[in-house]
Structure 1
Amino acid sequence: MELPTLASDVEAFIQELPKVELHVHLEGSMQPATLLELARKHGVADVPGSLEEVRDWYAFRDFAHFIEVYLASVHTLVDEEDFAVLTADVAARLAAQNVRYAEVHVSLYAHLMRGVPARTVFGGIEAARAEAERRHGIRLRWVPDFPGDYGVHTGEQTLDAVLAEGPESVVGFGMGGVEVPFAPMAELFGRARAAGLRSLPHAGENGGPERVREALDLLGADRIGHGIDSMRDPELVARLSEEAVPLDVSPTSNLRTGAVAQLWEHPLPRMVEAGLTVTLNSDDPPMFGTDLSNEYRTAAQLGLGAPGLAALARNGVAGSFLADSAKRVLITEIDTVLAGHAPNL
């Protein structure tokens, strides 16, 4: 089953719609040209030698291959300039899609384990963040994370580094990787929350609804990364709806990783119908062959009309950690764009 082609009026609406991105990975946003540039700079092996070859290599094959590409991107980041180059490109590409604000996951532990100090990571991304705000008007905030399946000690090292070196633009503490039981992480996330960081774990992409419950009950999750497995548990769905816990959903990512077999089977429409607070996100855009605008196209192809797309955009604003005054401004802009396009949609 193929998804329908969108009308030009819907495309125009999506492009003009002010957007917020709450689940996108910095390292997973590295474009092929940047990877090649940094690989050449540092003599990183096992990276194809031409841009055309790198682009072919980026094409998603399976999850193991995705991890190979992701780790290659990580290993090309060595000094502050590298992190600044990557961040500047990511910010410019987001701004070109009319993304006004983004909370970006940073694989901090992946750099710490290679001997790259946290101050190097933060120094580079902060310099580019400030310049991007001046140049493009986009605001970026950071969510350092660690792979939960590597053990709680990796999270402890990551949090220690964040508390020692993290700038004010760090808004949350995240956990990705394979979804293992979360009980060992409870004290760690309690410490992060006590320090003022928001709890932002990945849960319920393919680990079942029980991981989502644990994220809420044990980790005090402020938002859930993915969360699509929640639809397998009606009681959990009712709870998420009642508590209005945002679920940061990434349809193309879910397809690529095998969390859904076919894009048209994605539960996004059912999640919206069930009253869940769904936000739309791109996760690892170039490595999954997407970007945030494309995720809005996908949502439209899955049956959401312009009011539904605008609602997703509002959810992103509401679920963010922007100041209330900034949220009101963005929501007003979203409503204005919707009203302006309504006669043609």
Structure 2
Amino acid sequence: MKPFSPPVERFIQDLPKVELHVHLEGSMSPPVFLRLVEKHGIPGLPRTPEEVAAHYEFRDFARFIEVYVASVRVLRDEEDFALLTVDAAQRLAAQNVRYAEVHISLYNHLSRGIPAAVVFAGVEHGRREAERRHGIRLRWIPDFPGDYGAEAGEQTLDAVLADGPPSVVGFGVGGVEVDRAPFREVYDRARAAGLHSLPHAGETGGPQNVWTALTLLGAERIGHGIGSMADPRLVDHLGSERIPLDVAPTSNVRTRAVADIAEHPLPRMLEAGLVVTLNSDDPPMFGTDLVNEYRTAYALGLDLPDLALLARNGVAASYLDAAAKRELAAQVDAVLAAARRG
């Protein structure tokens, strides 16, 4: 892999960024996690930074889901959700992330008896505070774990339609990757209500789940989508239709979706002409952040124009307004032009 140099590091830091695939609960830093464990006196969870680090060691995707669900338990009230939102947004803003569309694992809270109104009140308080303090703009993608079945999706959507604020832009499905076909009806309802279809697919599953997400769920972007590379016809379709794929390399390695970072298909995806965006997914859990994902992309063989392309793809694939997109894309181009001038 390519070594770094100070100009490359400076370029990555200066690059205006958009994050389109990051989970709020998966953005919980160890200090916030430990603060909430202590606040609520929750037994059976780590109590020290060392125990948190061990807690975040993943053998496979199933272990990651187990840890993720356990970690969600520390979020109990509006104040907790606001704290998490402000902390996550501050760390994004420090990486020059200007805008983020953040997944919220809403069903995991509903199933614990926490009303959607509490979740949304907390994250909205945090969003407004983060925008005031740091200038970063946040929007929400409530989701449900697909392995809990279509009823979980229906309950999640009902809660979003009843209590979701205008800052909700889309509807997602994640969790253990199962067949997406059973979710057709709930996605029909979500789209009819004006929500964008933003499912995970092709992360640990194969290309068929991506096809299903596109044809039955009306997916506008695909979360992960790395399994698409096994189907040349799907690759051609994704490229010709300019359907964005929100890719998170470190996440794929940590969950064992990809055996080794050197084997990650990101370079091949760009070579195939796919619209790829770069993302951190669950950054503290995976020991990464968005800046590190750009470093990883460079180490995989991408050059500075490639990194700028990833940043522009993120802007284009977002649900920012047209004027904001033009402004951010121009800033990306200006950073690349400055780097070329040396």
Q: TM-score, normalised to structure 2's length?
A: 0.98
Structure 1 equivalent of residue 319 of structure 2: 321
Structure 2 spans left out of the alignment, 5+ residues: none
1:205, distance to aligned residue in structure 2 (A)? 1.0
Give the one of 3, 15, 19 matched to 1:17.
15
Provide the C-alpha distance between the structure 1 equivalents of 2:130 and 2:71, rounded to a whole number of angstroms: 21
With normalisation by structure 1, the TM-score equals 0.97
Match of 2:149 in 1: 151
1:60-71 equivalence runs, <5 A? 60-71=58-69
**CA–CA separation in structure 2 for the residues paired with 1:343 and 1:270:** 28
Residues 253 and 159 of structure 1: is their aligned pair in 2 closer, same or farther, counting only changes over 3 Å? same
User: Among residues 285, 288, 291, which one is paired with 1:290 in the alignment?
Assistant: 288
Query: Could you list the per-position Cα deviations for residues 195-246 of structure 1 after superposition, in whole angstroms to 9, with x for gaps in the alignment?
Result: 0000000001121000000000000001000001111111110110000000
- How far is 1:179 from its partner? 1.9
How far does residue 65 in structure 1 lie from its aligned partner after superposition? 3.8
Of residues 207, 210, 213, the one that matches 1:212 is: 210
Displaced runs of 4+ in structure 1, greater than 3 A? 59-65
Query: Aligned partners of 2:74, 2:2: CA distance in 1, in Å?
Result: 39
Contact 1:27/1:106 (8 A) holds in 2:
yes
**Which residue number in structure 1 is paired with residue 266 of structure 2?**
268
Please, which runs of 5 or more residues in structure 1 have no aligned partner?
Answer: none
Q: Distance in 2 between matches of 1:51 and 1:255?
A: 23
Q: Which amino acid aligns with 2:92?
A: L
Q: Secondary structure at the match of 1:44?
A: coil
Q: Which residue of 2 aligns with 1:309?
A: 307
1:236-268 CA deviation, whole Å, 9 max, x = no partner?
Answer: 101100000000000001111111111011110
- Select which of 148, 156, 166 maps to 1:168: 166
**CA distance 1:65–1:33, change in 2 (3 Å):** farther
Residues matched between the structures, number:
342
Q: Which moved more, 1:178-187 or 1:45-54?
A: 45-54
8 Å contact kept, 1:59–1:289: no
Native 8 Å contact 1:60 1:287 kept in 2: no
Aligned counterpart for 1:181 among listed residues 179, 182, 189: 179
User: Helix, strand or coil: the match of 2:326?
Assistant: helix
Structure 2 distance, partners of 1:117, 1:252, is 33
Task: Please point out which of 235, 238, 243 is paired with 2:236.
Answer: 238
Please say if 1:40 is aligned against 2:47: no
The Cα offsets for residues 19-50 of structure 1, whole Å up to 9 and x where unpaired, read as 00000000001011111100111111112222
2:105 aligns with 107
Say which of 278, 281, 304 aligns to 1:280.
Answer: 278
